């Protein structure tokens, strides 16, 4: 009877120690996974911040470029108005000289 109690105690102690061992192993796995997640999140957040800074730089350059484009568009509109005036003057002068050429005798 005494050996049965001793064997039962040893089996119970072994089961208890196996359970504690599994809890410790699982806790270590969770701790390692949490550290890994923390590192990956840190890298991801760093990448996002770096990309956001790059986007901010591009947006500011785009704003500068938009100002330059507005100035270029104003110059283009002025050049088109000048072209329209010169084209009209060319048409008037070619019509005048064309009429004179018809009257002017050639050799």
Integer CA distances (angstroms), 23 to 14, 19, 26, 93, in order: 14, 6, 5, 100
What tokens does 40 get? 């990956």
The whole-number pLDDT of residue 6 equals 92
- Assess if residue 86 is contained within a domain: yes
Domain count, the chain: 1
What tokens does 74 get? 């104003």
- Give residue-wise pLDDT tens across range 37-92: 999 999 999 999 999 988 888 888 888 888 889 999 999 999 999 999 998 888 87
The whole-number pLDDT of residue 23 equals 97
- Assess if residue 18 is contained within a domain: no
- Assess if residue 10 is contained within a domain: no
Residue/partner pairs of 25-28 with CB below 8 Å, 24 or more apart: none
The whole-number pLDDT of residue 103 equals 60
The whole-number pLDDT of residue 26 equals 97
- Assess if residue 41 is contained within a domain: yes
More confident residue, 60 or 29: 29
What tokens does 31 get? 């701790």
């Amino acid at each position: 009877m005494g050996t049965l109690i001793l064997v039962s105690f040893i089996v119970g102690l072994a089961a208890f120690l196996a359970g504690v061992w599994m809890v410790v192993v699982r806790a270590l796995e969770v701790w390692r996974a949490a550290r890994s997640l923390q590192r990956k999140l840190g890298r991801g957040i760093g990448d996002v911040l770096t990309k956001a800074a790059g986007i901010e730089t591009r947006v500011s350059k785009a704003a500068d470029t938009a100002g330059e484009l507005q100035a270029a568009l104003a110059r283009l509109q002025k050049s088109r108005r000048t072209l329209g005036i010169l084209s009209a003057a060319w048409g008037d002068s070619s019509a005048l000289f064309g009429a004179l050429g018809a009257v002017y005798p050639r050799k």
